[in-house]
Chains A and B, each alone.
Chain A
Amino acid sequence: MKKKGIWRYNLRKIQKYLEVMKISFLSSSSYSRDVLGSLIFLFLILFIMFSLWRVIFSSNGSGLAHFTLSKMLWYVASTEALMLSGSKLRVRIDSEIRSGNIANFLVKPFFYPLFLVFDSLGSSIFSLIIRLPVAFTVALFFTLRLELTINGFLSYVILGFLGLVLDALITIFIGFFAFFIEDTAPVYWIYNKMLFTIGGLLIPVDIMPEIIKKVSYYLPFRFVLYNPAISCVNFSLNFFIASLVGVSISILVMLFLTSMEFSVASRRLSINGG
């Protein structure tokens, strides 16, 4: 009976965060024009990448590091869909900390970092649901080939979701820097460019020099875009399991670091009187 009570208590605790995610999902759906704007950008970037890779592949013969032209474009479509669905919380966290509005959250029965993770996931999932079909349709339109298997797609959905969780945690971690420094934007730009370079946004890490591959291997950024996208276009069970383990460990580490950061920062906040 006592055990049942704990379960029910924990379930209610999780339910309130799921409710936050649901509200964020529904409110994202009302900003349809923003989504349309990013769909235009998605089309544009895929068109540019297709034009660029077509030229490079034509001078490189059959392929680059096991990639064909169509696989490369499907890869970029997969990474871009995730990238455009990433967390947009940094500016909000920054302004909430600066304006002092964060105090409103501290008195609510939420653990603020977790509240933000679920809030971010709600809008990210909505974005991905809209952008992914468009990205794949555009890739199909340019390549006239379907580089997608059921296993590949399912692994992309699972790893992509976990990638979005990791992205939300890193974004929140950077957002909390606002407790300590004047402006968090430059730190976020650097994270963004980490995803761009060693995170494999436009070029798979496979075709980069060995040293870059090694750096990418030991950092968590590849789990946000590269691993889900590779699993999508080149599915292998071993790679999927390794990615699943890697992204799960990265999420736990980031969750720990973000919680620690928040606990240190909120203590500073109370010392200063809010």
Chain B
Amino acid sequence: MEVRRKLHWNRVFFLEYLKINFLTAMEYKASFFMQVFGMLLNDAALLFFWWAIFRRADVIKGWNMQDVFTLYALVTVSFGLATGIFGNVFMIPSMIVKGELDFYLTLPKSPLLHLLISRMSFSAWGDMLFGFLIYIFLVGTSLQGFLLFFFMTVLSALILVSFLIALSSITFYLESGENVFGDVANALITFSLYPSSIFPSGIKIILYTLIPAALIGYVPVSIVKNFSLKELLVLIIALVILAVAGVMLFNRGLKRYSSGSVFGPKI
């Protein structure tokens, strides 16, 4: 009963923050729409690269242009969902280093949830819009296919957020954790946008474990292309492991957190 009540209030809290973030975005309409439109063009340029590549080769180790479009649609929507809703996910290490968690620790809500949702990336909505447009106009087949695609983007976004929470927790222990986070996160995003088949098998093992780009891009795409319950189960198990590890590492790391004597307003 207690757990159910807690879940209900966390859901209310989450939806309320989402609403406030949107209202904030609407206060800066010009900036919001410029960022969305700018990101749309930015992402489109990435497809230009693949269009030029596929003029020279019909298939790249089992991947055709349609598959690459699906990969881009899925990763951009997933990245957009992750940073559009949990806008602070890439900022956690720098906030830990700068001692900016105090605000969240003094309030009764879960510091991790509060921290994640208290910011929204404007450009993330450009990523999402781009991904959906690409899927609908260049890939889409049926309503059923679209629903599966959307479900996989949500799963992929949750895996991304969980992995980044776990990764950011090393900042509690390592002085250079912020840099390690930046390097690994950068590698994760970069690798997830290329077909896995071009890499040697040794690298593929890393892409399924240490830098799980495969779980964010290739495996969800494979499920969208040819539904496989086995692959779906692998993703769900990976999500549960990463989410539990992320929350545990963060909460344990919080015990080592200290902010020194940082002063600053929080409005």
Contacts and interface: CB of A to CB of B under 8 A. Distances in A.
Interface of A: 33, 36-37, 40-41, 44-45, 48, 51-52, 54-56, 59-60, 64, 181-183, 185-187, 189-190, 192-194, 196-197, 202-203, 207-209, 212
Contacts of B187: 40-41, 44
B57 A182 contact: no
Given A45-B190, A207-B52, A55 B198 contact: yes
Contacts of A45: 190
Contacts of A208: 52
A186 B52 contact: no
Contacts of B199: 51
Nearest to A196: B45
Q: Which 4 A-B pairs have the closest CB atoms?
A: A186-B38, A193-B45, A182-B31, A189-B42
B30 interface: yes
Given A44-B187, A203-B49, A208-B52, A189 B60 contact: no
A192 B186 CA distance: 17
A52 B183 contact: no
Interface of B: 28, 30-31, 34-35, 37-39, 41-42, 44-46, 48-49, 52-53, 55-57, 60-61, 123, 176, 179, 182-183, 186-187, 190-191, 194, 198-200
Contact of A33 (B37, B53, B176, B191): B176
Contact of B52 (A60, A189, A203): A203
A48 B39 contact: no
B49 to A, nearest CB: 6
A186 B28 CA distance: 14
Nearest to B44: A193
Which interface residue of A36, A60, A186, A190 has the most chain B CB atoms within 10 A?
Answer: A186
A48 B42 contact: no
A182 B49 contact: no
Nearest to B193: A48
A197 B38 contact: no
Nearest to A45: B190
A55 B34 contact: no
Nearest to A187: B38
14 contacts: A33-B179, A37-B182, A55-B57, A55-B60, A55-B61, A56-B53, A56-B57, A182-B30, A183-B35, A185-B38, A186-B37, A190-B41, A190-B42, A203-B52
B39 A51 contact: no
A42 to B, nearest CB: 11
A59 B57 contact: yes
B56 A202 contact: no
Given A51-B198, A186-B34, A207-B56, A41 B49 contact: no
